[in-house]
Amino acid sequence: MPTRFTAALGAAALLAAVLVGPAHAHGGHDHGTAPPPVSTTIAPRGEALSDAFELVAIPRDGTLMLYLDRFRTNEPVPGATVEVETPEGPRTATATQEGGYALPAPWLSKPGRHELVATVTAGDAVDVLTVAVTVPDPKVSPAAAPAPAAPTQAVMGRVSEVAHGVRERLGQKDPTLVASIAVAFLLGMLVTAAVRGRRSTPAVALLAIGITLVLGTAAFAHGDEDHGAPVQGAALIEPRPSAPATSDLAQRLPDGSVFVPKPTQRLLVLRTTMTEQGSFHRSVELPGRIIPDPNASGVVQSSVGGRLSPPPSGLFPRLGTKVRKGDVLASVAPPVQAIDVSDMRQRQGELDQQIAIVERRVERYRKLATTGAVAQTQLDDAQAELVGLHDRRSALDKARQQPETLVAPVDGVVAQATAVAGQMAAPGAMVFQIVDPNRLWVEALSFDALTAAQNATARLADGRTLKLAYQGTGLADRNQAIPVQFAIQGGASGLRVGQFVTVLAGTDAEQSGLALPRSAIVRTGNGQDVVYEHTTAERFEARPVRVEPLDGGRVLIAEGVGPGKRVVTQGAELLDQVR
Amino acid sequence: MILPKLTLVVGLLAATGVSAHETAGQHGGRVTDAGKFHVELVAKGETVDVFLSDGEQKPVPANGFKGTAILVVGGKPARVPLEPADGNRLTGKANASLGDSPKGAVQLTGPDGATASGKFN
């Protein structure tokens, strides 16, 4: 019995060897996908970073192409002087049309590692950058490298195939497999018996024959079967022989990062910004409208109904005319009704009559007063009565002649004018509106009670923004909202009263985080928000982030990216499309 | 593949304004990596001395080496050719005084024609 038991163990060991071996051969590979390594499709290149610049050097056809960008913004730096230390002494690279710099470099044809020093002068910024470029040996092509491993790989590939077949048939309870196991069991018995008999040499031979038989049987059995699955171990396929690419292609690397060569970055206009931690006031968007400053605008109204006539200059001020406070803009002559005219005539006659009587009385009293026959008080009374009568008479004359003058209440520009000569103005009707175009306000409607809003800005339809200063909030309800008023600071030229604006008002709620433009956030296929971090000169890595709303143009990164990172703010959507 | 990474690290450190990599040298200068060597830069007045040592800080004879130091002085790059002097020292003279610890880079060409460069911030 122990012999059989050992034989069973031997069979199990053999089977295990067949099954486990290929698994080992497959370890760590990703089937089917396995893209060629980066280095075979991307030309050799070197890059250098400083706090001001980012330099990428690409040797190609005896020329060294240099791409210089700003470190923080990824903006190309045109018009810079790039001097490279070559074995032939310092040489200055010439600017190319694509925005790069080219340097003829025959010395770069020598394979190996070249460490270069580039002196960059752009404006008043000077930087010395060290960049290393490795030129591959053309005799040792990248495809030749895996060649020595080929025989081993072939064996492993075969073993892998066998194992695949065995595993498949194990699932199907294949009679061939059962037979193989039985043969293996018998062989195991034989081997054990041989070992017990201490005839070691035949035992080894038997063992070898046994293994060959098992493998052979399995391989044979595998042959007459049709299996649709492709040959396992795509990783064993030799990588495509790399033709010398004329230009590098943007691609997504196996680790998920995106490789974008500098020329492509220029085409996509990729721009970055450095993330900075800060605290921000959350802002709300309110619909608003431009109104004139109540303290710098006014209306001209007629207090009486009457006929409008132009001011002494003979012309009504027209729209846009500049007026000063106190200028006469028009006059209103109140009309006199027919009944009033007869009434006035009557009063006039009466007054004239009384005046004549009182005049004579005053004359008489004056003579008599000297003699003492008439008291001085009587003379004074008569004189006062005469003055009063004269006043009333002249007032009656004026009432018919003097119209009401309409004067400008403030300095400004005539914003609205309805005056036409001869027009009858109703009492209280607005004849002119005067607005100071440099002093305008914005009235917005807020649905929340906005406390002294700070950092308010107004955005116009054309994209311009105006800085606003909070003035006050009304309490009276208007369309379920309350009016909030802001004064426009700085120039208000080009604005008109009544224009619609969007007011962005900061609230008291303070949030801390990293503020980024909305365009930096990309929503991926699985619905996750990511930003692209510029990790090295030509690599971008997606970073999942949690964003919170901040204002119209920016969002707050609450988590996912730390400060001091370069994040793509322009062209992130395009970057996300790179496959 | 270590060297580009190293350059990158140096660059990144420069970018963040941390120069933790640079250490004080035996000759009172600044030490940085250049290829497989360590170079120590000592700038005193107009004289630039570069001391060459290997990874274990053992001096490497400067014979056969050529070098160039490019140092930024007063916002202008100054190019200083370096010639081997005694021991592991290469020396050169600048046109103007270099001031205290100028930033820049040193490029060395070995006897075998291989180049190595190190950056000083």
* Residue A125, min C-alpha distance to chain B (Å): 7
CA dist., res. B56 & res. A278, Å (int)? 45
Nearest to A126 among B3, B14, B77 (CB): B77
User: Do B92 and B62 contact (CB within 8 A), yes or no?
Assistant: no
Is there a contact between B105 and A129 if contact means CB atoms under 8 Å apart? yes
Q: What is the pLDDT along chain A (579 residues), one digit of tens a residue?
A: 444 555 554 444 444 444 443 434 333 333 333 333 444 567 788 888 888 899 998 888 788 889 999 998 999 988 888 888 887 778 888 888 878 899 888 887 777 788 888 888 888 888 888 888 887 776 654 443 333 444 444 445 455 555 555 555 554 555 555 565 556 566 666 656 655 655 555 555 555 555 555 554 444 444 444 444 444 443 443 444 444 445 678 888 888 889 998 888 988 899 999 998 888 877 778 889 999 888 888 888 888 888 888 888 888 888 888 898 888 888 888 877 778 888 888 988 999 999 999 999 999 998 888 888 888 898 999 999 999 999 998 888 776 667 788 888 889 889 888 888 888 888 888 889 898 888 889 998 888 776 666 678 888 888 788 888 888 888 888 888 888 888 988 877 788 888 999 888 877 777 788 889 888 999 988 889 999 999 988 899 999 999 887 876 788 888 888 888 999 999 998 888 888
**Where do we find the tokens 């007054």?**
A351
Q: Which CATH superfamily groups domain A249-293+437-579?
A: Efflux pump adaptor protein, beta barrel domain (2.40.30.170)
Residue A117 near chain B (CB below 8 Å)? yes
- A23: enclosing H helix or E strand: helix A2-26
Q: Which residues contact B11 (CB under 8 A, 6 or more apart)?
A: A48, A49, A50, A129, B119
Architecture of the A45-135 domain: Sandwich (2.60)
Residue B41 near chain A (CB below 8 Å)? no
In chain B, where the domains are located: 22-120
Q: Which residues contact A114 (CB under 8 A, 6 or more apart)?
A: A59, A107, A108, A132, A133, A134, A135, B115
How many angstroms separate the most distant Cα atoms in chain B? 38
In chain A, where the domains are located: 2-33+145-236, 45-135, 249-293+437-579, 297-431
Helix runs in A407-454, H state only: none
CATH code for residues B22-120: 2.60.40
Closest CA to A331 of A316, A312, A309, A315: A309
CA distances from B81 to A126, A293, B49, B68, B91 (A): 19, 71, 11, 4, 8
Domains A249-293+437-579 and A297-431 fall in the same CATH topology: no
* Residue B2, min C-alpha distance to chain A (Å): 11
**Where do we find the tokens 């006014």?**
A298
Residue A217 near chain B (CB below 8 Å)? no
Nearest to B15 among A49, A85, A110 (CB): A49
Nearest to B75 among A83, A126, A132 (CB): A126
CB-CB neighbors (< 8 A) of A48 in chain B? 7, 11
CB-CB neighbors (< 8 A) of A114 in chain B? 115
Residue B107 near chain A (CB below 8 Å)? yes
Is there a contact between A130 and B119 if contact means CB atoms under 8 Å apart? yes
Q: At what angle do helices A200-223 and A2-26 cross, to 10 degrees?
A: 50
* Residue B9, min C-alpha distance to chain A (Å): 9
CA distances from A200 to A186, A193, A206, A207, A291 (A): 18, 11, 10, 10, 108
User: Do A494 and A462 contact (CB within 8 A), yes or no?
Assistant: no
CA distances from A538 to A49, A120, A165, A233, A519 (A): 12, 19, 45, 31, 20
CB atoms within 10 A of CB A160: 21
Nearest to A124 among B35, B75, B118 (CB): B75
Is there a contact between B115 and A90 if contact means CB atoms under 8 Å apart? no
Residue A537 near chain B (CB below 8 Å)? no
Which ipTM value was assigned to this complex? 0.74
DSSP, collapsed to helix, strand or coil, labels residue A494 as: coil
Is there a contact between A130 and B77 if contact means CB atoms under 8 Å apart? no
User: Do A365 and A374 contact (CB within 8 A), yes or no?
Assistant: yes
CA dist., res. B91 & res. B47, Å (int)? 7
Q: Which two tokens stand for residue A564?
A: 């001091």
A544: amino acid identity, one letter: P
CATH code for residues A297-431: 2.40.50.100
* Residue B90, min C-alpha distance to chain A (Å): 18
Is there a contact between B15 and A50 if contact means CB atoms under 8 Å apart? yes
Q: Kindly report the pTM of this predicted structure.
A: 0.55
| Residues forming a β-bridge with A567 | A273, A533
CA dist., res. A350 & res. A392, Å (int)? 11
CA dist., res. B88 & res. B26, Å (int)? 12
